Amino acid sequence: MKHWNEECAVVGVYNVENASILSYYSLFAMQHRGQEASGISASNGSKITTIKNTGLVTKIFTEKRLSKLQGRSSIGHNRYSTAGEDSINDTQPIFARYDLGEMAIAHNGNLTNAKQVRQMLINEGAIFQSHLDTENLIHLIARSKKQSLTDRIIDALGRVDGAYCFVFLSRTKMFAIRDRYGLRPLSLGKIQNQDGSTGYIVASESCAFDLVGAEFVREVKAGEMLIFDGAYSLSDNQPKSIQVFEPKEHPCVFEHVYFARPDSNVFGHNVYKTRKQMGIELAKEHKIEADMVIPVPDSGVAAALGYSKQSGIDFELGLIRNHYVGRTFIEPTQQQRELKVRLKLNPIAELIAGKDIIVIDDSVVRGTTSKQIIKILRQAGAGKIHLLVSSPPTISPCFYGVDTPHKTELICANKSIEEVRKYIGADSLGFLSIDGLMRSLGDENKPMCKACFDEVYIDDFTNDFRSDLTGANPCVSC
């Protein structure tokens, strides 16, 4: 396992002809956020149809299948499974019929009190069809005594904690909600229909808007619910907004470090620019003499360009990535994992032989992949090898929807930097400081969730109970 594994992607489209087509292309644009399963629910005003399966977006949604998803509203989901079973029941969106009609839900994030809520519901007689904590919301909404779906959703959300971006689809309405901390990104866009009417789209990343030709409007606010309903007269061409929870903004800093696509704008900043600035800050903090700077592709490229710019050391593509190799961590033996690192990354020996090099990567998790990268660079004839990481040491697991190893497996949580250097075999090893990371985002005092780096969790539930947890709370919503 080289990196912390991606979260999930959600999309919602409202008042657009063949809305499922836009959901399909949006999920395609956000495939990097989840590659194990995908699904789309569409409403034609009287019925919700759902198609979902394991696999990539392009494999699941053939032209024939998309033709079955009729309607002017739809929601979709890409899944990176971090827990639970690899089955169709654990893919999203989740569909249900209840006393108010039909409903589908898609979720990115992790409910930190999901186990407690689930057990309470089971004790009350609820029957679950999946391992997803998202299914809690179905039961909470169905059991709520409130009269309208809007009030039932608000009632249900008041009983869960943690990180979430939800999109809900009824037969005539769509809802988008972001948790009070704003941990996961969610943005609003609009689409001009051919008949002059305005359509809307919400998505985890703005790169989805670029692909479907939508105009970015704004980010959904922390604790905000947007209601898309033709019955409301829209003001300023925007959906009805309710501030459900008082915002306590702490967006996830790892979106900028690794998760988001470089061409997306997340939390008010372009991801490519912030990663390049991380490299500039890294060069200010770690001045090293070398012949060239090379990135670990692809996520280290922008930071390596920034480091090269600030240091004046030439940037070179010394490692070439094969994009058609699967993830290394799913292989059953360490020998096979090491082989896959070689299959993924191949050094250009003619370029690096006899040269002192600075290798830029975005993070170090277990250290096994870094060790293999140093090894293959040595075998290619490199002189001194300096590994610099454009984020701080990762010392804590995530409880908010990111699949992380147990703390015992996080190398920087259990070894000093010098011990890590010796383990991976580099001549030197350096990390970007937390202050440097925050400077890269333009504000050292900006409140963001950095628990993976400083072990300061943002919600009371996690802080109260993390001493009882030896590893990450599995994300079963994704």
195 is in an annotated binding site: no
C-alpha span between 59 and 8 (Å, rounded) = 18
Whole-number Cα distances in Å, 140 to 118, 152, 156, 269, 477: 10, 8, 5, 36, 15
DSSP sequence for 243-265? E-S------BTHIIIIIS-TT-E
CA distance 202 to 216: 9
Residue 238 β-bridge partners: 235
SS3 percent helix, strand, coil of the chain, rounded to 5, is: 35, 25, 40
Structure tokens at 248: 């306590």
Q: Does residue 398 have a known ligand-binding role?
A: yes
Q: 452 labelled as ligand-binding? A: yes
CA nearest neighbour of 191 among 237, 145, 129, 130: 237
Provide the H-helix boundaries in 271-385: 271-285, 301-311, 334-344, 349-352, 368-379
Catalytic hit among 8, 165, 475, 478: 8
Q: From CA 98, how far away is CA 104, in angstroms rounded?
A: 11
Q: Is 207 annotated as a binding residue?
A: no
Q: Nearest CA to 218 among 233, 203, 232?
A: 203
Give dist(CA 364, CA 226) in Å, integer: 38
Per the CB < 8 A criterion, the answer to whether 364 and 394 are in contact is yes
Residues in contact with 203: Cβ distance below 8 Å, sequence separation at least 6, in sequence order: 9, 10, 11, 12, 26, 30, 186, 187, 189, 209
To the nearest 10°, the Cα dihedral for 423, 428, 431, 432?
Answer: -170
Residue with tokens 């391992």: 131
Beta strands in 129-239 (DSSP E): 162-169, 173-178, 187-192, 198-203, 215-219, 224-229
412 appears as a binding residue in the annotation: no
| Residue 118 near residue 133 (C-beta atoms within 8 A) | yes
Active site residue 165: no
| φ, ψ (nearest 5 deg) of residue 10 | -125, 150
Q: Which helix H or strand E contains 110, and what residues bound it? A: strand 101-111
Instruction: Please give the annotated binding residues for Mg(2+), written as ranges.
Output: 299, 361-362
| Residues designated as active site | 8
Instruction: Please give the annotated binding residues, written as ranges.
Output: 252, 299, 361-362, 398, 449, 452
